[in-house]
Structure 1
Amino acid sequence: MTQPAPQPPLPAGFTPLAPGDPLAIGPFAVVGRIGAGGMGAVYGALDPSGGHVAVKVIHPKYAGDPAYRAQFAREAELLSRVDAECAPAFLGADPAAPQPWLATSFVTGRTLRRHVAAAGVLAGAELTAFAAGTAEALAAVHAAGITHRDVKPANIILSPEGPRVLDFGIARATDDTGEEQGLYGTPGWVAPERLDGRPATPAVDVFAWGGLVVYAATGHGPFGTGDSGTLLARTRAGRPDTEGVPEELRPLVAAALSAEPADRPTAAEALAALLDLAAAGAPGDPRGRLRALLAAAWHGFEGGRGAGPWIAAASLLSLSSAVAGGAGGAAGGLAAGGAAGG
């Protein structure tokens, strides 16, 4: 009896598709699962040209809820506005599909949290490049009229090409004055004005960005460790710990962590200061200067998650037929940069 040919291995960090998972989502052929949460799942997929894509899909039980569907449509609309060197590219969405989906370019690599745990902290020009890249992404987000509201180490991927800011699940238009349904964010990363009930502005992202740089440089957050109550109390007290941040970065980081939003720099100002500090590129082109800094300083970051050949179970030859036929029956999916886990 002829034995079936062995299937190619899944990319690193992927898990096999479960029964009922889609084989195609919109124009994308699904390869494997990246992760799943309470509201949906994120899949690794191939576009018609073989490009690597992350697709996020809402669970069917939530797809029938108009409120969840509307929230998902807002997320897709906000993400479509962002054009940044250090954020994943938006590739499309269908909030009206039976299972709403959105897709972005897939970002390979480890999260900041996992990198620090496995390989240690960042230092020197590498740390400056990290700070500049994440500031650039937030500056682009803010220029698009968006506040991210969930900047933290688990939402930053250190890809081989540079840091990437992911996960716009609780992002909100900066000019959205509608009532919020509670306080969102992670203790230790939520700005103090939010704890006082004041609205989220781009300054809350800058506050969290300051914490990111502390974490990248020291391995701990700006308010240490502890339970939620302890972290929130330290945040209210307004005494972040920046010990261990290099002297040349500490004034900028301390300003970003100021208790009062008005005392913080904007993300664009932080980016400009860092590019000047690094003497990167020619003045007048922040994105080009950032590319020069990353080219000079960002080396040795492995792909990790998502590494390996991306070949659908039936091989690449089945891609066009799977997409054309909608194999698996899922007419929807959502991809938010492929972020999954910490």
Structure 2
Amino acid sequence: MNTARRSLTHNLQRTLGLCLLYSSLARSCPRPSASSILLSTLSTASKCSLSQHLPPQSPHHHVQSRPISIFTRQDPTPLPEETKFSKVACSFALPKEIERDYRVGRFLGAGAFTEVFEVVQKDTGEKFALKFLPKDDIDPNLQYSFEAESAPHLSHPHLINYIQSYETPVSPTSPPALAILMELFGHRLRYFTAQFGQPTVSQAIEWAAQLASALAYLHAAGICHGDVRPANVHVDGRTAKLMDLGTAHHVGSRGEQGVEALDEDVRALARVVLEMVVGRTAEDGKFDASHVEGLRLLGERDVPISRELRATLHSIFDPTRKPPSAKAFADLLSKSQ
């Protein structure tokens, strides 16, 4: 009896200590819900079974027009691509159409203002990507988002497929945003090469030709991609796709400025091509200068590509010469396979 009483007293003291600790931290930390405090305190303080009487909560359950809480996958082990991401909550509410037809899966990544989650179609199990774009990140003068309004009308086998956009419900805790549903495809180029090794030169040229054909398609429509880099190239087997049209824009009426933007797209793609055939040569944030080392290694390693393609890769970065069009570059890459 005395042993049981001492054990109970000890547990109560621990509980009181934890409550005092929480009280001191609450001034500087966001306050958790009452149920999470209760569960944490009881599980730490004793072997009490009160938590067994609390109603179970699904990690995917949320109420319409309220911010998404926490999303977890069935298997909690992080995938290799996910390990650098610690964020698991979304800052925006789900549109009712998405909430009705899809369940939200793993967090895929984020930009400066955007967040991307995997969503799974409830009836078919097909997976898509859902990108949240805050309204205040849209051009304030135009109130226009290329991804939401123009991208769904584009169609090319090597360009990411945008499906539809939705307005998110607005609440005091959920800012206005667009939810953009798009294709979920493959792996980032650098993740793929890190996991499976550098592609063969022939495979790299095949991917490059596909990407160039997608870029030529955009340029023919008067559209500049504006962010061609390894992070926006996804590959799967023998197929490559150009991703993320978040900075894409129409250049039809911008004169020389528009032409230069298209030329820079071609230069950026040439940097990607060099990385695919000689390996990564620049750290994150220094991709714009990666061609210097890439061209050096191209010659030093005597990479087996055609003489014409080798000369073109050099001339693209010659400031005294105009780079080829995306269409001409695509034709050359196709011929070089």
**Is the alpha carbon distance of 1:140 and 1:45 closer, same or farther for their aligned partners in structure 2, counting shifts above 3 Å?**
same
Asked if the contact 1:75/1:169 (under 8 Å) is kept, the reply is yes
SS of equivalent residue, structure 1 residue 100: strand
Distance, in Å, in 2 between the alignment partners of 1:247 and 1:172 is: 33
The structural deviation recorded for 1:126 is 0.8
Higher relative contact order (CA 8 A, sep 6+): 1
Instruction: Indicate the structure (1 or 2) with the bigger Cα radius of gyration.
Output: 2
Distance, in Å, in 1 between the alignment partners of 2:284 and 2:94 is: 42
Asked if the contact 2:95/2:179 (under 8 Å) is kept, the reply is no
Distance, in Å, in 2 between the alignment partners of 1:49 and 1:102 is: 19
SS of equivalent residue, structure 2 residue 177: coil
**Is the alpha carbon distance of 1:246 and 1:166 closer, same or farther for their aligned partners in structure 2, counting shifts above 3 Å?**
same
The structural deviation recorded for 1:69 is 9.4
When normalised by structure 2's length, the TM-score is 0.61
Distance, in Å, in 1 between the alignment partners of 2:274 and 2:227 is: 16
Distance, in Å, in 2 between the alignment partners of 1:173 and 1:148 is: 9
Read off the aligned partner of 1:164 and give its amino acid letter. K
The structural deviation recorded for 1:220 is 3.3
**Is the alpha carbon distance of 1:39 and 1:25 closer, same or farther for their aligned partners in structure 2, counting shifts above 3 Å?**
farther
Aligned residue number for residue 11 of structure 2: none
Aligned residue number for residue 154 of structure 2: 82
Aligned residue number for residue 215 of structure 2: 138
Which of 240, 257, 264 does residue 317 from structure 2 map onto? 257
Read off the aligned partner of 1:125 and give its amino acid letter. S
Read off the aligned partner of 2:326 and give its amino acid letter. A
Read off the aligned partner of 1:8 and give its amino acid letter. Q
Asked if the contact 2:212/2:327 (under 8 Å) is kept, the reply is yes
Answer yes or no: is 1:50 the counterpart of 2:125.
yes
Aligned residue number for residue 104 of structure 1: 182
Distance, in Å, in 2 between the alignment partners of 1:145 and 1:23 is: 33
Aligned residue number for residue 218 of structure 1: 278
The structural deviation recorded for 1:214 is 0.8
Asked if the contact 1:32/1:43 (under 8 Å) is kept, the reply is yes
Aligned residue number for residue 305 of structure 2: 247
Deviation string for 1:31-68 (max 9, x for gaps)? 23211233121011124543221111124xxx357646
Moved over 4 A (4+): 1-7, 13-17, 19-25, 68-72, 224-228, 237-240
Identity across the alignment (%): 23
Correspondence list, 1:221-236, <5 A: 221=281
SS of equivalent residue, structure 2 residue 89: coil
Read off the aligned partner of 1:269 and give its amino acid letter. A
RMSD: 4.0
Aligned residue number for residue 35 of structure 1: 109
